[in-house]
Amino acid sequence: MPLVRIENISKSFGKNRVLDGITFDIEPGAVKVIIGPSGTGKSTLLRCINMLAPPDSGKIWLQDTEITAPHTDLIKIRQKIGMVFQHFALFKHLRAVDNVALGLHRVKKMNRSDAYEKAKQNLQKVGMQDHGDKYPAQLSGGQQQRVGIARALAMDPLLMLFDEPTSALDPELIGEVLMVMQKLALEGMTMVCVTHEMGFAKSVANEIIFMEGGHILEASPPAEMFNNPRNERTRSFLHKINELYGESK
Amino acid sequence: MSFFAVLPKYLPDLAHGLWLTIALTLIAAALGFLLSVPLVLALLYTKGIPRMLARLFITLVRGTPLLVQLFFIYYGIPALGIRIQPFNAALIGFILNSAAYQAEYLKGGFMAISSEQMEAAYSIGLSKWQAVRVVIFPQAFRFAIPALSNEIIYLVKYTSVAYVIQVPELLSQAKFFASDTFFHLQIYFLIGVVYLLLIWVVSKLSDMLEHKLHIPGFDIAHLR
């Protein structure tokens, strides 16, 4: 059984149809990378999967729960789906360790000392154990993003969503975040990443999904996608990406 | 008799007036704040009747002169058969007035916060009200401190309006003194200085609060 089933979802903002009949499954342990031009609904798709932006039509299942059904307990669902944001979205008034402990304490109702113990373990996972007492403004972008990953991981999610996790970072900070993501993938975490880091996509993803105009134009394993894209649009997009970021190895 | 020869006799009255001024300010600021929180939450995070009521209240308070509000409470409400003391009438007026303004200042703080903060709060499973309480409000409040301390500074001075509904606060006492002794110049200069000192204290306290709640990232870094 897939971990997540996405069945024919559509969503519009006003007259703009951002998602137009998206269907795919996410198997446990899969790493899917979504690429495509900006404004084609990639971020919206991620926000549908954790119901931050519920689809207008179509259905999404997480295991055997239809999360798009009315009266679904979204608080329960969202704990199982971690999300990492483009601009990190750390709680700016809280130290790194508080950011990670908040959900454990307030949502999972762990007592304070257990929550902080677990928060520290998760900071360690992303190599941020020495920065727990710092506020977000005192951390570099790469460090903030790693705390963001730790905050999501601490909730023991079944699935992690990454919304352009490195696109707001200076080039020399991208590597540290990608390394954490790579490690997660190797540990078997199920991941859906919107990213233009083709090197990461090639080495880690099981499947690349190319989206445009609210549709999935092509979805295939990286080798196939990069060496032999079937769709003309995919080909020209990959070509542009290569021009921008250099041929990825 | 010189000004300084007659002043001691009136000092207890003036001190009492000062005390009323301080009491009016502090109580109105504190209770006004307590009221402003549900007001701004209703305004920003509810729909339908609660939001409508909050908007109506703020429109009424900000849309009418403070003096009209005080007259309405002090002279108007007794016409309905409810007796009300001058001090209490002034207090009610100032609390309601301050609540509306403080709600608007807090709103400014809430609007400074990016929508990603709420998304991030939801994404780890916080409910809407948990998110508002532990993620949004603490940040919004910090952004609003300068405006809120400005409101307290206004309040110190607005309390002098209470003299028109017979509250024997600082300005009233100065008026009594002036009409008894004809030392207009001296007494109004003196209480002007007293107001100035009060406001100096308020702004110092506000700086201290800002300092105490200071968090990296919430300062005006571009000034350094």
Question: What is the spatial distance between Cα A40 and Cα A218, in angstroms, rounded to a whole number?
Answer: 14
| Residue A247, pLDDT score | 57
- The length of chain A in residues reads 249
- Return the biggest CA–CA distance within chain B: 75
Amino acid identity at B49: I
pTM of the model: 0.90
User: What pLDDT is recorded for position A249?
Assistant: 46
User: Chain A: nearest CA to B127, how far in angstroms?
Assistant: 7
Interface mutation target, options B124, B129, B141, B215, chain A, most CBs of A under 10 Å:
B124
CB of B142 within 8 Å of a chain A CB? The answer is yes
Tell me the chain A residues in contact with residue B121 when contact means C-beta distances shorter than 8 Å.
91
Chain B residues within 8 A of A106 when measuring between CB atoms:
126, 130, 134
- pLDDT per residue over B66-105, tens digit each? 999 999 999 999 999 898 999 999 999 999 999 999 999 9
Chain A: which residues have CB within 8 Å of chain B? 47, 50, 52, 74-76, 78-79, 81-83, 85, 87, 89-93, 102-103, 106-108, 135-138, 148, 151-152, 155
Q: Chain B contacts of A140, Cβ < 8 Å?
A: none
B212 touches chain A (CB under 8 A): no
Residue A140 has pLDDT above 80, yes or no: yes
Give per-residue pLDDT as tens, B24-66.
999 999 999 999 999 999 999 999 999 999 999 999 999 999 9
In this structure, which long-range contacts are made by residues A183-190, counting pairs with CB atoms below 8 Å and at least 24 apart in sequence? A184/A149, A184/A153, A184/A160, A185/A31, A188/A29, A189/A29, A189/A160, A190/A3, A190/A26, A190/A27, A190/A28, A190/A29, A190/A30, A190/A31, A190/A158, A190/A159, A190/A160
Q: How close, in Å, is residue A240 to chain B by CA atoms?
A: 29
Average pLDDT rounded to a whole number, residues B138-152: 93
Domain-by-domain residue ranges, chain B? 3-223
Q: Is residue A66's pLDDT more than 80?
A: yes
pLDDT for B219 beyond 70: no
* Average pLDDT, integer, range A167-190: 94
* Interface contact B115, partner A, CB < 8 A: no
Tokens of B34: 């307590």
Report, as an integer, the average pLDDT of A156-173.
95
CB nearest to B139's CB, from A52, A82, A93: A93
| pLDDT at position A134 over 90 | yes
Q: Find the mean pLDDT for residues B148-170.
A: 94
- Nearest chain B residue to A135 by CA distance is B216
Question: Which residue in B has a C-alpha nearest to residue A76's C-alpha?
Answer: B125
Counting every residue, how long is chain B? Answer: 224
Domain ranges of chain A: 91-156
Q: What is the DSSP string of A158-220?
A: SEEEEESTTTTS-HHHHHHHHHHHHHHHHTT-EEEEE---HHHHHHH-SEEEEEETTEEEEEE
Chain A residue numbers touching B129 (CB-CB < 8 A): none
> pLDDT category, A73, cuts 50, 70, 90?
very high
Please give, rounded to a whole number of angstroms, the shortest distance from the CA of B134 to a CA of chain A: 9
Question: With respect to CATH, is domain B3-223 assigned 1.10.3720.10?
Answer: yes
SS3 at position A111: coil
B130 touches chain A (CB under 8 A): yes
pLDDT category at B222 given cuts 50, 70, 90 is low
CB within 8 A of B92, min separation 6: which ones?
A: B73, B84
The pLDDT tens digits for A194-213 are 998 989 999 999 999 999 99
| Chain A partners within 8 Å of B217 (Cβ) | 92, 135-138
CA–CA min distance B122, chain A (Å): 7
Which of B123, B141, B220 to mutate to test binding with chain A, by most A CBs within 10 Å of its CB? B123
ipTM of the complex: 0.94
> In this complex, is the C-beta atom of B112 within 8 Å of any C-beta atom belonging to chain A?
no
Cβ–Cβ of B123/A152 closer than 8 Å?
Answer: yes
